[in-house]
A and B are shown apart, each in its own frame.
Chain A
Amino acid sequence: MAEAPKIQLDVVTPQKIIFSDKIDKLEGPAIDGLIGILPKHAPLVTAMKIGVVRISKDEEETQIAISDGFMEVQPDRINLVVRTAETPDQIDVERAKRAKERAEEKLEKDHEKVDFARAEAAYERAVARLKAAGHHDHGYTGL
């Protein structure tokens, strides 16, 4: 059997191109739910939300924590354009933990005083980072 087709993935942030490689499969959080992309996917555009993108290549899995952005898919390539993206080795776990605690504190306080949406986004980002870095024991139930 011929080698299974692969799909070119580029993860682009304002700072740099985080990831650029041919992959077998991508799974990530679109705004209306988890979306999976395999090679030869139909052309598609969707917006992404904060979460973890899982990439498989030759049985190996990489996780990338992303914040919001959008994704464009063509049969042979994926453009993932996001505000921030980090591979596990780029994630500062301690910092993410602190950020999560800070956000939790804010969320528990009086809602009128804090910018709820902002704190929530900070919380989601921290959780996504921890998740991508392999810390699963945080009781996060979303994606």
Chain B
Amino acid sequence: MQNMKDIQRRIGSVKNTQKITRAMKMVAAAKLKNAQDRAEDARPFFNKTVEVLRGVFTRTSEETHPLLEEFEEGSHLVIVITGDRGLCGAYNNKVIKEAEELVKKEDASLIVMGRKARDYFRRLNADIIAEYVQLDDYPGYGFSNNIAEEVMHYFLAGDVKKVSMIYTHFNSAISQSVKNMQLLPVEKFSELEMETRGGKKAEEKDEEEITKKYVDYIFEPSPTEVFDNILPQYLINVIYSALLESKASEFGARMTAMDSATENASEMIDDLTLKYNRARQAEITKEITEIVGGAEALK
């Protein structure tokens, strides 16, 4: 039987831990609400951008643009988006794992966002060309703008043949999925991933409809100039929404993880309390037996 004092001490420490996990859960929940609102507010903007881009691609299948060209040479640039802190379940690990597989398979350079990814890939001695840590809880549009410019710079200079991004898509507070998305060369619209659309059949049908719908587009002043403006914007928008989605996912994951930690702590406290009571009872029984024994001896 464990010492009563030891058990009491353990109950105290578990209670303290529970306070922390509960506070973290509450903070994550509050931030999640905000991050989720932002991610959802950005979706119409993102969808409109994709919609317009689709239309442009349908109309100008013959057009080329530097940002659409495929290169044979160069490495694969991967943007990896994780959080700065742990205690959020498998959130960071899932992204890192996906990225690691890619790094092992091909010649990849990395832009890491978040301390978790940076630390991990530093240990692996991966080729990190840029790192961003201590990201805002609510990333701004300007930040995405800078990233997009940097990425375009590398791509247009011919240093990299392909740019993709690994981030976490926010489905709900308890469900997030890791996504690997190609940024550059910008995929032609028929291959573009549409989050809002269902299976493959629906997509094929859409394609037809869209082809019909966009048949008579005028480009002011010219398709090339429209591309010059739309493609970089598209890139910024995609990065912007990926950052927002990732942040919302991080808070969601943290909230869920801390919720179950708090619950586990409760269970543990119950267990320990039971143990403590048993020990206390055993102690009392022992004392009574001793007293009775002593009294008997005195007779």
Contact = CB atoms under 8 A, between A and B. Distances in A.
Interface of A: 10, 12-17, 30-32, 35, 42-47, 68-70, 72, 74, 79, 81, 83
Nearest to B215: A43
Nearest to B223: A45
B134 to A, nearest CB: 22
Interface string B225-258: 1101110010001001000000000000000000
B44 interface: yes
A14 B56 contact: no
A12 B228 CA distance: 20
Contacts of B237: 14
A43 B218 contact: yes
Contacts of A32: 220-221, 225
B52 interface: yes
A44 B218 contact: yes
Given A12-B48, A14-B45, 16 more contacts: A12-B45, A14-B41, A14-B42, A14-B240, A43-B214, A45-B55, A45-B56, A45-B217, A45-B219, A45-B226, A47-B228, A47-B230, A68-B233, A70-B52, A70-B226, A72-B52
A42 B218 contact: yes
B49 interface: yes
30 contacts: A14-B41, A15-B38, A30-B220, A31-B225, A32-B220, A35-B220, A43-B216, A44-B219, A45-B52, A45-B217, A45-B218, A45-B219, A45-B220, A45-B226, A46-B219, A46-B220, A46-B221, A47-B226, A47-B228, A47-B229, A47-B230, A68-B229, A69-B233, A70-B52, A72-B52, A72-B55, A79-B48, A79-B51, A81-B49, A83-B233
Contact of B230 (A10, A43, A70): A70
Interface string B198-228: 0000000000000001101111110001101
Contacts, number: 75
Given A12-B44, A13-B45, A47-B226, A79 B52 contact: yes
B52 A43 contact: no
Contacts of B71: none
Contacts of B225: 31-32, 47
Nearest to B217: A43
Interface of B is mostly: helix
Interface of A is mostly: strand
A44 B49 CA distance: 15
A70 B232 CA distance: 11
A15 B45 CA distance: 8
A13 B141 CA distance: 10
A31 B225 CA distance: 9
A35 B42 CA distance: 27
B293 to A, nearest CB: 80
A15 B46 CA distance: 11
The winner among B51, B220, B233, B240 for most chain A CB atoms within 10 A is: B220
A69 B228 CA distance: 11
The winner among A12, A68, A70 for most chain B CB atoms within 10 A is: A70
Contacts of A14: 41-42, 45, 141, 237, 240
B180 to A, nearest CB: 23
The winner among A31, A74, A81 for most chain B CB atoms within 10 A is: A81
Nearest to B216: A43
Contacts of A17: 44
Contacts of B228: 47
A72 B48 CA distance: 9
Nearest to A79: B48
A74 B141 CA distance: 28
A81 B217 CA distance: 17
A30 B229 CA distance: 11
Contacts of B216: 42-43
A72 B59 CA distance: 13
Contacts of B52: 45, 70, 72, 79, 81
Contact of A70 (B41, B44, B141, B233): B233
